[in-house]
Structure 1
Amino acid sequence: MAFRGLPQTNVRAAQRSPDSDDDSPVFKKPKLPVKPFRLLDLPILIREKAMRLIAPIDLFDLSLCSRRMTKYVKSLRLEAEQHKIIMTKHQIMISVNFPGREVIWWDFKPFHARRIANQIRRIGNVVFTQSERVSDGTLNTGEFYCQYADYEKGVAAVSEQFQKIFPGPKSIIINPFSFPELKTLFSHEHMQSLNNLDICGFEQPSIKMMEEIFGKVTLKERLSIKPVTEGDYVIQQAFQVQSFLELRCAYWMSREHLLQINCRVVEIYDNKFISEDIEAFAAKWKEDTSKQWEKFLFRWDSGRPFCFYNLDAEAWDETKRESHFIYKTNQETRRIDCSDGFDMEREDGLLATFVLEQRDEHQFLHFLVFKERFPEKKRIAELPSKLAPFYTQLEKINREYHDNVALERLLCNRNLNHEEFSETYQVWKNMFLEQGRVNTQGQLLRQEVFEKMRAIIEA
């Protein structure tokens, strides 16, 4: 049957079922040739704008194509927030963090078993014949895994390429006993200028190991050495760091060395200082306003007396500072009781104190600078304004849910001071824990707000 006015080919098209297997030429779409996108042929400004839209992990892979491509990626001047290298017995990896962009990981020792990696990547003069790339959009990360036996050589090559195209501060955490070729690692120029260096482990590094690590390295912000070190080896980098210094063993450190430190926060455990050394330290701080020392800790076993012989120091005066020094760690807010401290003032207005603290079996000597003399008083004065939005939330919850008990109504009272709130909240929480009852919707909402308020009060 023919359809009048239509060509016969179109008739067949009209009659053909969508699911038909008819492969007549009439129904075949012409295949267009696939042309590669020639990124490098774009004008410079357009090419750079296009490349800035590419994820960092893709830029890294592109940089491995050729020296020319490395040059183009480098010209983007995409800076990393931090390069972090971890080299321990069970973990060997490099991470590169960017502000607002995905993290890149290169793992030499993945925790989880992976399928056989067969991708080949050449970085410098190192060829990784067993590598694999995995991306996780949910976690906003891109990862490389590889099998490469020469860890020191591999880490140096990968980190150098990362640093070349994504310049930024470098941090290393390393257990030297797990890596016999430290000299190879630290012989690379890019490994000789670091922001942070953490040496971990329990075994004592030899003089040879110390020289291989510290022979050419300069540090800027942080140095932490957990294991005991050779008593005669002077670690010059201890005088370079500015933010944090931790020495498990500092028997090598003399009074002159102590006065050379330019770091704000220092923890020195095993040491041979005596009261006269600490007195010289205090005198140096008092006369030299350029010293930015803020918080020092010395392990001071109870067998060593501590007193000042020639330096004027005063007992705590509650009109000049609070009784406790408050500071924050990564895990918590700590308060050191300084009511028995020895205080001194500097001409620029700063006040510092020395105080002994007993922790378990050890005694510690603290040197603490009160940049804010009444921080707790100031914090408490600011609490009403910080808590006001939460009381507004509670009022809204109470209008919608009428299931509050007496203690909850008390906690919703704006006139409670911070101590009364904390005590009442603890009683209310214990009461429900003991009863084991299921909270109502309103109580769950209030509990969430109460928790946030308590966190602000106890910060």
Structure 2
Amino acid sequence: MAFPLLKLPSLAYEEVLSNFNVPDIIDFSLLSSRCHRIIRSTRFPLTGIGISVSFFSSDCLLFYNGGPRPFAVWRFMKKRWRKVSDTINGWRRIGRTRIRIQKEPEWVSKLKPDTNMKVAFEYVRDLFRLPITQFDLLSTDQNVFPQQYGITKCDELLICVRHEIPVDELKYVLEKMEISKTFSLSLQKNDNFEFDFVRFSMDVLKISRAFWITKETFLAMDCARITLQGNKKLPIKEFVSQWLSSRNTRFEWLKMHENRYWNDEEINWNDGLEPMKWNPAIRGRNFKISHFQRVDCEKGIDFLRDDGLLATVVKGNFNKIYFIVWHKRFQPEADSLDLDFW
């Protein structure tokens, strides 16, 4: 005998629905227009949706409920998926698009992930009305970018592909998108890309092959942690001087790779600044730059800001330059970590 779910009072069937997993919630919403309205009006413990497009066997929609790991994953297979049975492998329709779903042992859709995933994303975004947590485009030949999904805001954006990225897609990301937490970009094939100015304002900024970063963009960066690799000559002294004259308490560290400016030209830190040698009574030797790595600041040049914040500029191996702010001056937990090597 079927369970008369929709004949229950609204509080009762909402309690039942709250115990559904995400695949079943979406399936339920597709049963009828009434079921769709019920799901849209019900609050579920979901906090965001992520998109992952990669070279692996499937692309994914990721559902989060506040934790660092996805609460549920909807996989879109690039190759044929093993059929289990007609009752388990069922077809679902979203608008005019039919998507075949297998929920056991995994929640999987078959055929054309680049099309089906976009349709599914638009449906679940409207269904749950959730913010975009992340968009990952990693080592893939697929031309799938945030502009095609209509994304203007997200917490994290990672783009690292093996082919040339269309310029209009890059400009959309740099001009139209608001990224609050982490932005990681690698331009492996865009050798001639140019961009006059962009204002980066997020917690973490990582740019590989940052040859296109201009002086104006560099000095306007408002990020906590910055990693630049393969950049042109950028004015590190001016960056330090700008921080010293500011009241910026967000900034934590800057790391630049392959910047020959330091080696080709001796910087006179005494010109307009007041550098100091390391005093072990004022700060520690090692700075924790990640959970596993440290920076040895023994030979660094220190600067004391008017508000008491202490910063260090230090050279690393492989032409690296670090500019570090000691929000915590002594970090004994860093002493046992490996030296930063990337």
TM-score (norm 1): 0.63
Give the one of 236, 239, 250 matched to 2:200.
239
Tell me if structure 2 keeps the 8 A contact 1:176–1:205: no
Could you tell me which amino acid in structure 1 is paired with residue 107 of structure 2? F
The aligned residue for residue 339 of structure 2 is none
> Is 1:40–2:14 an aligned residue pair?
no
> Is 1:144–2:100 an aligned residue pair?
no
Tell me if structure 2 keeps the 8 A contact 1:83–1:95: yes
Query: Per-residue CA shift, 1:201-259, capped at 9, x if unaligned?
Result: 233424244246556432221111123444413573x613x211111122222222112
Could you tell me which amino acid in structure 2 is paired with residue 40 of structure 1? L
Q: CA deviation at 1:56?
A: 2.6
Give the one of 54, 57, 61 matched to 1:94.
61
> Is 1:269–2:251 an aligned residue pair?
no
The aligned residue for residue 136 of structure 2 is 173
- Choose between structure 1 and 2: higher strand proportion: 2
TM-score (norm 2): 0.83
Tell me if structure 1 keeps the 8 A contact 2:140–2:162: no
Give the one of 89, 107, 119 matched to 2:90.
119
- Choose between structure 1 and 2: higher helix proportion: 1
Could you tell me which amino acid in structure 2 is paired with residue 284 of structure 1? Q
TM alignment of 1:289-300, pairs within 5 A: 289-299=247-257, 300=259
Q: CA deviation at 1:95?
A: 2.1
Could you tell me which amino acid in structure 2 is paired with residue 103 of structure 1? F
| 2:240 counterpart SS class | helix
Query: Per-residue CA shift, 1:260-313, capped at 9, x if unaligned?
Result: 211111100111234xx2122112211211351101101123643352232221
Could you tell me which amino acid in structure 2 is paired with residue 281 of structure 1? F
Question: Which whole-Å CA distance do the structure 2 matches of 1:326 and 1:259 have between them?
Answer: 24
Could you tell me which amino acid in structure 1 is paired with residue 122 of structure 2? E
Q: CA deviation at 1:374?
A: 1.3
Query: Per-residue CA shift, 1:71-110, capped at 9, x if unaligned?
Result: 3223222242443322123341222133589832221226
Tell me if structure 1 keeps the 8 A contact 2:132–2:155: yes
Could you tell me which amino acid in structure 2 is paired with residue 104 of structure 1? A
Question: Which whole-Å CA distance do the structure 2 matches of 1:215 and 1:79 have between them?
Answer: 32
Could you tell me which amino acid in structure 2 is paired with residue 304 of structure 1? D
Tell me if structure 1 keeps the 8 A contact 2:211–2:230: yes
Could you tell me which amino acid in structure 2 is paired with residue 371 of structure 1? H
> Is 1:288–2:246 an aligned residue pair?
yes
Higher relative contact order (CA 8 A, sep 6+): 2
Q: CA deviation at 1:40?
A: 2.5
| 1:155 counterpart SS class | helix
Give the one of 291, 310, 313 matched to 1:351.
310
Give the one of 250, 256, 259 matched to 2:216.
256
Q: CA deviation at 1:64?
A: 2.0
TM alignment of 1:33-432, pairs within 5 A: 34=1, 36-90=2-56, 91-98=58-65, 103-109=71-77, 113-115=81-83, 118-128=89-99, 130-135=100-105, 143-149=106-112, 151-166=113-128, 167-175=130-138, 178-180=141-143, 182=145, 186-189=147-150, 191-211=151-171, 213-214=173-174, 216-228=176-188, 229=190, 230-233=192-195, 236=198, 239-240=200-201, 242-274=202-234, 277-299=235-257, 300-301=259-260, 303-307=263-267, 308=269, 309-329=271-291, 332=292, 334-358=293-317, 362-376=318-332
Query: Per-residue CA shift, 1:134-191, capped at 9, x if unaligned?
Result: 15xxxxxxx3222222x33322222233333442442111148622464xx62444x2
Tell me if structure 2 keeps the 8 A contact 1:268–1:298: yes
Distance 1:82 1:263, change over 3 A: same
Mean CA deviation greater in 289-298 or 171-180: 171-180
Could you tell me which amino acid in structure 2 is paired with residue 366 of structure 1? Y
Tell me if structure 2 keeps the 8 A contact 1:56–1:102: no
Could you tell me which amino acid in structure 2 is paired with residue 52 of structure 1? S
Tell me if structure 2 keeps the 8 A contact 1:357–1:364: yes
Question: Which whole-Å CA distance do the structure 1 matches of 2:53 and 2:102 have between them?
Answer: 20
Distance 1:206 1:48, change over 3 A: closer
Q: Percent identity?
A: 21
Task: Point out where structure 1 has 5 or more consecutive residues left out of the alignment.
Answer: 1-33, 136-142, 381-418, 423-459
The aligned residue for residue 451 of structure 1 is none
Structure whose alpha-carbon radius of gyration is higher: 1
Tell me if structure 2 keeps the 8 A contact 1:194–1:220: yes
Tell me if structure 2 keeps the 8 A contact 1:214–1:235: no
Task: Point out where structure 2 has 5 or more consecutive residues left out of the alignment.
Answer: 337-342
| CA RMSD after TM alignment | 3.0
